[in-house]
């Protein structure tokens, strides 16, 4: 691992094995958007983790949730985006990606509130599963 990359990125996974953020990236984003988001995650989110909230690239949402923001400027083809990825700092070094959408396609408050609600529901479900796994793991006495 390079000296400056201090966080591991993980994708939230449903009990059925679906990874909604990964599916969103693969199915809804253009090749250019995928590359730029991947580069930003590598250069910023892996490096700073929740610390991106101290920059223009992040915002705390409360309740263990934060938003990673990426503005993609129009290219020669006119493509631009306002990508939002909802994250949770799981421990000291893991960033869990819970949800994402292109705010540039739908900047309405209703859509944003919906996406945040979905991310919060996924976080709650993830934490419940983690607690169940902790209870089931063998204990050293």
Beta pairing class for 94-102 and 65-72: unpaired
Phi, psi dihedral angles at 52 (to 5 degrees)? -60, -20
**Average pLDDT score over the chain:** 90
* Of residues 76, 123, 83, the one with CA closest to residue 103: 83
CB–CB of 113/99 below 8 Å? no
Find tokens 């994708």 and name the residue. Answer: 11
Taking alpha carbons only, the member of 9, 11, 119, 124 closest to residue 59 is: 119
pLDDT per residue as tens, the chain (141 positions)? 344 558 999 999 999 999 999 999 999 999 999 999 999 999 999 999 999 999 999 999 999 999 999 998 866 667 788 999 999 999 889 999 999 999 999 999 999 999 999 999 999 999 999 888 766 655 555
The pTM score is 0.87
């Amino acid at each position: 691992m390079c000296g400056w990359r201090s966080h591991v990125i993980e994708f939230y996974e449903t009990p059925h094995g679906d990874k909604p953020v990964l599916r969103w990236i693969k199915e809804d984003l253009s090749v250019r958007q995928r590359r730029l988001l991947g580069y930003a995650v590598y250069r910023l989110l892996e490096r700073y983790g929740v610390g991106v909230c101290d920059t223009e690239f992040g915002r705390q949402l409360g309740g263990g949730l934060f938003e990673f923001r990426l503005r993609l400027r129009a290219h020669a083809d006119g493509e631009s985006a306002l990508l939002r990825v909802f994250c949770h700092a799981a421990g000291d070094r893991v960033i869990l990606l819970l949800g994402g959408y292109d705010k540039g396609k739908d900047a309405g408050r209703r859509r944003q509130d919906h996406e945040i609600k979905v991310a919060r529901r996924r976080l709650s479900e993830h934490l419940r599963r983690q607690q169940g796994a902790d209870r089931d793991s063998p204990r050293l006495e």
